Every structure is written in structure tokens, then in C-alpha cells.
Amino acid sequence: MYLAEDRILCLGIHALDYDLHYLPDVESYVDPVTSLTKLLGQRRRWINGSWFAFNYVKEHWRENTSYIFLVQLAYYCFVQGLQWISPALFYIAMNLTLISFV
């Protein structure tokens, strides 16, 4: 249903006042990315997933009104804004870097 259902599931579990813990001994086997095209496609899917998960949380923020959650939501709004302009910032930085070498 969602592109980032694992993030939404974790946020839903956290909203129900359950604790989520990191398990260092757990292993996961995945297929490695073998080309730049596949890597860029994977990154695009991850960014789309985080964007849709963020929009879902932003639309349902009234379901959890704790102070820490609202601070975290404000931080994510800031990060998502940076994510929108980050390709332009990368392009400008690389352009300036390459011009300085010429």
C-alpha cells in the first residue's frame, strides 16, 4: 500500500507507546546492487518511500500530540525541505569545484 510501509509501521507501533529496540545479532541477506543505474533506481525508490511516509505522518500528526513527536515532525519538515533543494546544491557545488580547476 505504501512505498515505505516499514517506516509507517514503526511509527504506528511507536505511537501506541511500544518501544522499538535494535537487535545487533539479526542478519539479513540481500542481493547487492551491481550497477550505477540500479543504485540510482534504488536511491530514487528510497527517497520516494521516505517522502510518502513523511506525508502520511504529516497528515496524521494529530493522532500523536506528544511534545517530542512535534519537535521531531518540525525537524523532518526542515529535512524534507533540504531534500527538495539538495540536487541543486550538489550541482552548484560540483560546478564551482570543476570551474575552480580550469
Residue 2: pLDDT band with limits 50, 70, 90:
low
pLDDT digits 0-9 by tens, 48-81 = 777 777 777 777 777 766 777 778 778 877 887 7
Task: Calculate the alpha carbon distances from 63 to 11, 25, 33, 39, 46 in Å.
Answer: 11, 34, 38, 36, 25
Q: Is the pLDDT of residue 15 over 80?
A: no
Tell me what the mean pLDDT of segment 4-22 comes to.
76
Q: What are the phi and psi torsion angles at 87 (to 5°)?
A: -60, -40
* Cα 38 to Cα 88: distance, rounded to the nearest angstrom: 22
pLDDT given for residue 25 in this prediction: 92
Q: pTM value?
A: 0.47
pLDDT digits (tens, 9 = 90+) for 19-53: 888 889 989 888 888 887 888 788 777 777 777 77
